[in-house]
């Protein structure tokens, strides 16, 4: 799947050629503890680990993985994990991360647009996510994409040892 959202931003599934750059992006985003909850890819060969994960995702069809290609490099990624139980296959939990230098220039919105295209193909009719209450930019993006707040998850995570609240948001397609 490739979706050209803007002249300089293409949303697509990652290829084998993307693996090293994508692993580097994941580890860069994982180092940001303030808002994102991305686990670093550990081990002596992060690209090999990621390649195996992407192969498993492709085989099971239980997760969508999209990258934003901007100005010739990977600027962001989005994952959408579908429920495993048949009753939850139409629900996907979303995670998104954008390289710091590519924030506030349409990459996040492009990924969210690509997500909806993937969801339509995958038979997903509910997208849900959580976001730290202090992440105003992400909350504004999600609201502008039609996500509604469904509740507050009190002390749902710890950042720098302190409990933080998260907002639960969802969009019905």
pLDDT truncated to tens, each residue of the chain (173 aa)?
666 566 689 999 998 899 989 998 998 898 886 666 788 888 888 888 889 888 888 888 889 999 999 888 899 999 999 988 889 999 999 999 999 999 998 999 999 999 999 999 999 999 999 999 999 999 999 999 999 999 999 999 998 889 999 999 999 99
**Residue 158 domain-assigned (yes or no):** no
**Residue 55 domain-assigned (yes or no):** yes
Single pTM value for the model = 0.90
**Residue 21 domain-assigned (yes or no):** yes
pLDDT at 2: 64
CATH code for position 43: 3.40.630.30
**Residue 155 domain-assigned (yes or no):** no
**Residue 152 domain-assigned (yes or no):** no
Tokens encoding 84: 């495993």
**Residue 156 domain-assigned (yes or no):** no
**Residue 34 domain-assigned (yes or no):** yes
- The SS3 call for residue 101 is helix
Strands 126-132 and 91-98, how do they pair?
A: parallel
Domain count, the chain: 1
**Residue 65 domain-assigned (yes or no):** yes
Tokens encoding 62: 């239980």
Strands 162-172 and 73-82, how do they pair?
A: unpaired
Helix or strand (DSSP H, E) at 150: strand 148-159
pLDDT at 130: 96
User: CA-to-CA distance for 166 and 171, rounded, in angstroms?
Assistant: 17
Domain boundaries, position 31? 2-129
């Amino acid at each position: 799947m490739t979706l050209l959202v803007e002249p300089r931003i293409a949303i697509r599934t990652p290829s084998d050629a993307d693996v090293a750059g994508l692993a580097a992006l994941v580890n860069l985003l994982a180092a940001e503890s303030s808002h994102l909850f991305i686990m670093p890819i550990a081990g002596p060969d992060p690209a090999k680990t990621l390649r195996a994960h992407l192969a498993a995702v492709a085989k099971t069809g239980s997760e969508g993985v999209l990258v934003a290609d901007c100005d010739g490099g990977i600027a962001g990624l989005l994952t959408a994990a579908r429920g495993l139980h048949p009753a939850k296959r139409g629900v996907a939990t979303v995670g998104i991360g954008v390289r710091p230098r590519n924030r506030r220039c349409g990459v996040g919105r492009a990924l969210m647009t690509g997500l909806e295209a993937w969801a339509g193909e995958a038979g997903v009719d509910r997208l849900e996510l959580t976001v730290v209450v202090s992440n105003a930019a992400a909350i504004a993006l999600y609201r502008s994409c039609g996500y509604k707040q469904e509740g507050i998850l009190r002390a749902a995570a710890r950042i720098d040892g302190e409990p933080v609240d998260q907002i639960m948001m969802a969009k019905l397609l």
